[in-house]
A = this chain, B = another copy of it.
């Protein structure tokens, strides 16, 4: 029997839930911007839901959880919700990010122009290959042994790992040691980190394989 009113939830699980919800919120924002650009200044939960592929109740519940309020009968004021979401995501300040590895993915990220629109900035890159140090002039690129210094000096808390699998864990350890708290990992391994460091994996191969499975499954049952 539970004595407390609030039921206990495992911190790790709880965090997964928050992450999932905030990812939906980020999607809503994408969608809100779209409708704003189309000239609308209000939107209903129903419309938003249909666009994202969830139920209207889900939208209302998500908004409610993050205290994003609408108007009865009149829906949600797009600008108002956008402002609130931006505040929620601390979009008023610039978020510095470092990048380890300037291979194919790293180079693509360096050249990507979409970060600054969303108040994110790659402040430095790191690569073992001396040839990479000058090539990409958009951001300064250092050898890996300077990473800890840069992280500390620039007070960076977010890092991207785009190095080969073999060195990914080592780079991860160095990042965490120097103060990185969130890692976007492109290496095809499960990184080991302390529980207070958040890791998000991206694997194009895995996604493609899952997609292939799904399509073939669909084909079978047709």
Contacts and interface: CB of A to CB of B under 8 A. Distances in A.
A200 to B, nearest CB: 5
Contacts of A23: 206, 210
A167 interface: no
Contacts of A88: 213
Given A204-B202, A205-B118, A214 B109 contact: no
Interface string A178-194: 00011110001110000
A65 to B, nearest CB: 13
A185 to B, nearest CB: 10
For the complex formed by this chain, how many copies does it contain in all?
2
A178 to B, nearest CB: 14
B111 A190 contact: no
Given A184-B207, A210-B26, A215 B190 contact: no
Nearest to A218: B196
A114 interface: yes
29 contacts: A19-B210, A26-B206, A26-B210, A30-B188, A30-B190, A30-B206, A88-B213, A89-B213, A90-B212, A90-B216, A104-B107, A105-B108, A109-B204, A114-B188, A114-B205, A115-B205, A120-B209, A120-B212, A158-B208, A181-B215, A181-B218, A182-B214, A182-B215, A183-B211, A184-B204, A184-B211, A196-B222, A200-B210, A202-B204
